[in-house]
Chain A
Amino acid sequence: MRIPTHPSAHPPEARAPRPRGRALAALAAVGALVLTGCGSADASEEEIVVAIVANPQMQDAISLEEKFEAEHPDVNVRFVSLPENEARAKITASVATGGGEFDVVMISNYETPTWAENGWIENLQPYIDRTEGYDDADFISSIRSALSYEGDMHSVPFYGESSFLVYNKELFDKAGVTMPEKPSWTQVQQLAAKLDDPANDVSGICLRGLAGWGEVMAPLTTVMNTYGGGWFDQDWNPTLTSPETTRAVNDYVSLVQEHGQAGPATSGYGDCITLYSQGQTAMWYDATAMVSTIEDPSSSTVAGKNGYVPAPTMDTEAAGWLYSWSLAIPSTSEHKDAAWDFVSWMTDKDYIKLVGNEIGWERIPPGSRYSTYEIPEYREISQAYAEPTLTAMNNATQENTMTHPVPYEGIQFVAIPEFQDLGTRVGQQISAAIAGQITVEEALQQSQAYAEDVAAVYQRENRE
């Protein structure tokens, strides 16, 4: 502890003015910056705030936003770009409570029908109808219907995806095996066993095991569906312990445990993309959107060496999921027309060509419009995966991917508000089973109990 030896030798009063003056000046400067909004938009401009998920295609949109502003000098666009989980939580909180921070939000086909029903987002059909050249009939039909409520589109697709199986042709040739045109899960298990090469750090397959409704439960639900199982039957009875679901989950868990990547219980899409693009796994079943990364030579060592086949099946015609990142306008927006100008620009045919010409044809947002697959430059670079993607998207309907009708919308999810929580809790159980902490049967018993709580509400509604 220090006691000033000569406090009177330097009277504080004598030194005070300069530091105080500087401090006041600094405070005034800070205050001025804060009060002026740190560089807010020009008064003549209309500012719109766009909340989007920070995926590569969306980051490309941010980098091209100047082109939009050049066409619309009176609109200033500002972006909030966050990873999927943070973006979903933030956008949901804002839209559900009427926070009003955003004029455009990126949501999916999971949220669109519910939010439209709640009146949280604008009906975009009148905007679409009055926008010349905005060809909504060009949207891939499965996506179009997934983003519609009572026949009207309430969000428009930026890109769409299904799921398929990618495999490394080099590793297949080396192992002397071939991939069937339409593989079943049984064949995939056999192939994975042959391709598994721990000595060279190469796994037979990479499958998501990370807990979360948007992580392990997305691919696993499509497996459950094609095995004849699923979440609920037509009367909202949970079917997570049915023989079909149990067989599907057992096969998935044993496949990833025996021939999957290291640390499967904590591997998500991001981990698999890294492993696959570095040649460390021979197969990967996941979103068709993977192509923009694994076919990009700057980030992938396996670009150009990949084969694509439809999602493996068992008892159904197809098994791929359907997902779309789309743009919607919250009802609270005070700049709806400017917001639509931006939404229509970012989801138009011309935008896709703009990305192709400015950034690269492998980076375009795929799976939203049929016309994308007719662009010669894109057809040329996407020979290996364009057709499988389009086929997967066209086949991604409940009729093609399930053995029985269900009382909800969605393929790899159940489009009810409770599903985010239910799916994540069930995902935790599955993840624990993959980690070997509990058995698959224990995981499914617990999951069934969770699902019964949720189902009770819908069963009651059915009775009423």
Chain B
Amino acid sequence: MTTETLTTAPPTSTGTPKSAGPAGQGGRRVRSAALTVFTWIVALVFFMPVLWMVLSSFKQEADAASSPPKFFFVPTLDQYAAILGSGAGGYFLNSAIATLVSTLIVLLLAIPAAYAVSIRPVQKTQDVLFFFISTRMLPVVAVIVPIYVVAGRLRVLDNVWTLIFLYTAMNLPLAVWMMRSFFQEVPKEVLEAAQMDGASLMTTMRTILLPMVAPGVASTALLCVIFAWNEFFFALNLTAVNAATVPVMLVSTMTSEGLFLARLSAASVLASLPVVIAGWIAQKQLVRGLSMGAIK
């Protein structure tokens, strides 16, 4: 189908060598080369801060702060050793627990909710959906004081379960909206066929629906993981020593008196790795998931 469309497209779009003269061909090549160069420049501009972060993480503080910047230096693992030797494990464990548990709970709640609002909508479904998304409209800073006071009274400050609860609440609306759009793409006939064969709701869900929207679940989960892993504001304000997460560790490497760029860079590289690895593993599913559903 796609191939047919391409072959029947107008000659100008596919390019017929005989119809275009050498000048036109040369012009196209120049345009194409310019576009390639431009694309590389844009890509490098976006990649430069990441590259600089990685390079700085292998420098001594004085080299990282030098001006003009040093591209050639004696690499060192001192900064990584300092980060890993200063109890980074606890921060990573807290982040992993808060991220994974909250994402799991989000998926457990969002999938049935999204199923309900997409496959079996009722009269007020639109209102419900709007309510979900409206919880994201208030800036977090506007509610931090009441949340802090309530958490203090309940004696759940500096507790990883407080973060799990808040991250679940934070990601749930997003997950419901995303999963809804994935469910909406499931052909009704497939569900009807399952019903005809006598499949129960749970069986339909497990064996038909979820495998069909698996890429969507993967991309939703990855987004929830990224948001929870990178969340800083709640973690900074509601944790101290027992539940502090990786973003809090990052900021604790900064100082207002003295040099810290190399150490911060090393901490940032370590903090980015889990999300980069998760994204790399879920790459295939993610691309499929993001090209279907809401973020099309």
Chain A residues in contact with chain B, CB under 8 A? 1-4, 7, 12, 30, 33-34, 37-40, 49, 51, 53-56, 59, 78-86, 90, 93, 97-102, 201, 268-270, 273-275, 277-278, 280, 287, 289-290, 292-293, 298-301
Contacts and interface: CB of A to CB of B under 8 A. Distances in A.
B17 to A, nearest CB: 38
A269 B149 contact: no
A81 B241 contact: no
A73 B100 CA distance: 36
A55 B256 CA distance: 6
Contact of B152 (A99, A275, A280, A301): A99
A299 B61 contact: yes
A289 B257 contact: yes
Contacts of B237: 90, 93
Contacts of A292: 257-258
Interface in B216-268: 236-237, 240-242, 244, 248, 251-259
Given A33-B93, A269-B256, 5 more contacts: A30-B97, A34-B97, A82-B251, A289-B257, A298-B62
Contacts of B253: 54
Interface stretch (B39-47, B155-163, B167-175, B273-281): B155-163
A436 B61 CA distance: 33
Contact of B190 (A3, A33, A59, A97): A3
A80 B256 contact: no
B258 A84 contact: no
Contacts of A38: 90, 93-94, 160, 242
A277 B60 CA distance: 14
Nearest to B242: A37
Contacts of B113: none
Leading 5 A-B pairs by shortest Cβ distance: A78-B241, A56-B258, A101-B240, A84-B256, A55-B257
Nearest to A55: B257
A298 B97 CA distance: 39
B160 A34 contact: yes
Contacts of A78: 241
A287 B256 CA distance: 12
B206 interface: yes
Contacts, number: 132
A55 B255 contact: yes
A272 B10 CA distance: 63
Query: In terms of DSSP, what is the predominant structure of the interface of chain A?
Result: mixed
A60 to B, nearest CB: 11
A268 to B, nearest CB: 8
B67 A280 contact: yes
Interface stretch (B1-9, B30-38, B130-138, B207-215): B207-215
B166 interface: no
B16 to A, nearest CB: 36
6 contacts: A1-B186, A55-B255, A80-B241, A82-B248, A270-B256, A280-B67
A1 B185 contact: yes
Nearest to B240: A101
B290 interface: no
Contacts of A102: 240
A293 B251 contact: no
A12 B32 CA distance: 51
B292 A99 contact: no
Nearest to B254: A83
A78 B62 CA distance: 29
A299 B258 contact: yes
A174 B197 CA distance: 93
A81 B258 CA distance: 15
B255 A54 contact: yes
Contacts of A49: 240-241
A1 B292 contact: yes
B262 to A, nearest CB: 10
